[in-house]
């Protein structure tokens, strides 16, 4: 990750109430942390330190342990996701056909690294493993839209489609 400043956390009272319900549902269970983190990420879309702190306090475990789990498992995110989630396949077929260069071009255009979100909340960027579209390599997705047989010069036009 880069040194970019995280956006200000703006959770709502409703989200916090949902989180407390989730915590209370799992609190007495052995191994409650991971199910709570999954459900918390569904509520907030990511796991900012403010949410991790609530979870740590309510489950009576150190914040460092919560943070360690969040950063260990790739399904958890410290960053919010954008309105448009761009995912570039770095599986073997895609990588051999240039997906690394496509990823670099997206990072250059958007000014973000993998795992980050643009400051306006419009785009987030992920690197994925094989998405099962090897015949279209290299491939990227924007939400549910799939783009295949790409070259670096295709990237600006694809991003422009989502600049609403």
* pLDDT recorded at residue 6: 63
- Per-residue pLDDT of 68-83, as tens digits, reads 999 998 789 888 889 9
In a domain, 2, yes or no: no
Same domain membership, residue 154 and residue 99: yes
**E strands within the chain?**
84-89, 123-128, 140-142, 145-147
- Six-digit token string for 74: 């790739």
In the chain the first and final C-alpha atoms are separated, in Å, by: 27
Q: Where does the pLDDT of residue 2 fall: very low under 50, low under 70, confident under 90, or very high at 90 and above?
A: very low
- Six-digit token string for 140: 């990227």
In a domain, 136, yes or no: yes
Same domain membership, residue 156 and residue 92: yes
CA angle 122-76-25, nearest 5°? 115
Mean pLDDT across the chain: 93
- Per-residue pLDDT of 99-122, as tens digits, reads 999 999 999 999 999 988 898 889
Same domain membership, residue 26 and residue 65: yes
Pairing of strands 145-147, 84-89: unpaired
What secondary structure letter does DSSP report for 49?
H
Quote the pTM value.
Answer: 0.71
In a domain, 105, yes or no: yes
In a domain, 5, yes or no: no
CB 111 within 8 A of CB 147: no
- CA–CA dist 137, 93 (Å, integer): 6
| 32-54 average pLDDT score | 95
Give me the CATH number covering residue 109: 3.40.30.10
Beta-carbon count within 10 A of 112 CB: 21
- CA–CA dist 130, 107 (Å, integer): 20
**Structural domain that includes position 108:** 84-161
Number of domains in the chain: 2
């Amino acid at each position: 990750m880069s040194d970019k400043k995280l956006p200000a956390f703006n959770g709502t009272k409703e989200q916090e109430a949902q989180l407390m319900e989730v915590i209370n549902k799992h609190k007495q269970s052995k191994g409650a942390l991971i199910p709570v983190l999954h459900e918390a990420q569904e509520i907030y879309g990511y796991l900012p330190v403010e949410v991790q702190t609530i979870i740590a306090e309510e489950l009576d475990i150190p914040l460092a342990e919560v943070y360690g789990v969040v950063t260990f498992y790739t399904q958890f995110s410290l960053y919010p996701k954008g309105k448009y989630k761009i995912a570039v396949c770095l599986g073997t077929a895609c990588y051999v056909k240039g997906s690394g260069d496509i990823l670099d071009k997206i990072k250059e255009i958007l000014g973000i690294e993998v795992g980050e979100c643009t400051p306006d909340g419009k785009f987030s960027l992920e690197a994925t493993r094989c998405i099962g579209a090897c015949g279209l390599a290299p491939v990227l997705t924007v939400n549910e839209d799939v783009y295949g047989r790409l070259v670096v010069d295709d990237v600006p036009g694809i991003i422009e489609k989502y600049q609403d």
